Amino acid sequence: MRKRALRIRPTAWTAVIAALACLFGAAAQAQQPICSAWLIESSRFMNVPFGSFMPDRAFVPGSTKPESNIPTVDLPVNIGVIKCGSELILYDTGWKQQDYLKMTGSEHWAPLPDQLKVLGFNAADVTKVVIGHAHWDHAGQLSDLPNAVLYVQREELKSIEWALNYPEPHIRAVNSDPGGCNRTPACGYMPLTIEEVYGKVLKGKAVIVDGETEILPGVRIHPAFRAHTAGSQLLEVPTSIGKLVFGSDAFSSYEGIRDWMTANVQQTDTVQQFLAYEKCYKITGGYSNCVAAHEPLSYTDKYPLTKNSWVALNGGRMAEIALAPGEKSRKP
């Protein structure tokens, strides 16, 4: 009896391969949690000259051009709150107003633990803190998050220490030097902020990151060195509205990312900042899901990602960006 060879048509092969791909793809996605995300306005820097924030938007008296007719802007200091299953992650932590640190010109500050409570979270439940960089207005309040593990780039820490020991005083200048420091390599790193970072290190609650790393399935730190500071880092987060990329001051301005303009130039290589923008475009498929730290249009329709917003403590605003399936809305 002659055996009949099993013959499968090419179209059938294609269908089988496609079905398997779908199956494994869905399984892989099922393993990757979908996270929820909110944005908290930690405080707001008022009446900042637009040109000092975005050089290409400098005010020109008498100009009617939209890019040069706005003299000052109010800059929010945004903190990302990310919930992935049982993990509660913060991206940046703002700064801590005190009797001794009022930061003239800043308004709407409220303690981070109180702001988290508004969202229904306890500060003690925060499991991870990723700081985009260690400047004083982004890495404060760490000691109010007792159980959180801090993620900071080694490059960030090493570059500050290098700068502090640099022989030329103009290059090693810090905020207390005559004339301040503006954009010197160790500028903006307040002793108290660095002590908070050191506190986490001492308690064994710090991970010193070298470049890219995944802190949870699908939640990935991307280095953005010199996009704002030497060791800036981004955070990719999978959500129900697609991937988000939190950028801290590498993404200071949403308009900057959209229109390819540099913003908040500190220890910044503007080329690296553009490459960080590009990273967000590549990861998320555009500019809409790039989360900016100081965008003046935050919490308005003009920055659609953050438009689902409300006013919370002390006039500070919050936004609900994305909810995972089954996650309840925290918007009052």
Fill in the per-residue mask, 145 to 164: x = in contact with another protein (CB under 8 A), - = not in contact.
---------x--x--xx--x
The torsion angles phi and psi of 84, rounded to 5 degrees, stand at -120, 100
Beta bridge partners of 246: 235, 291
107 near another protein, judged by CB under 8 A:
no
Q: Which is nearer to another protein, 48 or 118 (CB)?
A: 48
Please pick, from the candidates 63, 102, 278, 304, the single residue that binds another protein as defined by CB under 8 A: 102
Could you say whether residue 331 binds another protein (CB under 8 A)? no
**Is residue 168 involved in binding another protein (CB under 8 A)?**
no
Residue from 231, 230, 135 nearest 175 by CA: 135
Determine whether 159 is exposed, middle or buried from the number of CB atoms within 10 Å of its CB (0-12, 13-18, 19+). Answer: buried
- Quote the least distance from Cβ 161 to another protein, whole Å: 4
In angstroms, give the least distance from the CB of 102 to another protein. Answer: 7
Contact residue for another protein among 191, 211, 286, 304 (CB under 8 A)? 191
From 5, 176, 301, 326, residue interacting with another protein (rule: CB under 8 A): 176
Using an 8 Å Cβ cutoff, are 167 and 112 in contact? no
**Complex with another protein: residue 181 or 321, whichever CB lies closer:** 181
> CB-based contacts of 57: which residues, under 8 Å, 6+ apart?
50, 51, 67, 68, 70, 261
Measured from the CB atom, the residue of 40 and 187 that comes closer to another protein is: 187
- Minimum distance from residue 242 beta carbon to another protein (Å): 30
Q: How far is the CB of 165 from another protein (least distance, A)?
A: 7
Q: Residues 192 to 251: which contact another protein by CB under 8 A?
A: 192, 194-195, 197-199, 201-202, 206, 208, 249
Q: Which of 27, 86, 99, 120: binder of another protein (CB under 8 A)? A: 99
**Which range of residues in 61-69, 181-189, 280-288, 299-307 is near another protein by CB under 8 A?**
181-189
Q: Residue 196 has which token pair?
A: 């908070």
Give the one residue of 2, 8, 100, 120 binding another protein; rule: CB under 8 A. 100
Give me the least distance between CB of 291 and another protein, in Å please: 18
The two structure tokens encoding residue 22: 């779908």
Task: Give the interface with another protein as residue ranges (CB under 8 A).
Answer: 45, 48, 75, 77, 98-104, 135-138, 154, 157, 160-161, 164-165, 172, 174-180, 186-192, 194-195, 197-199, 201-202, 206, 208, 249, 264, 266, 294
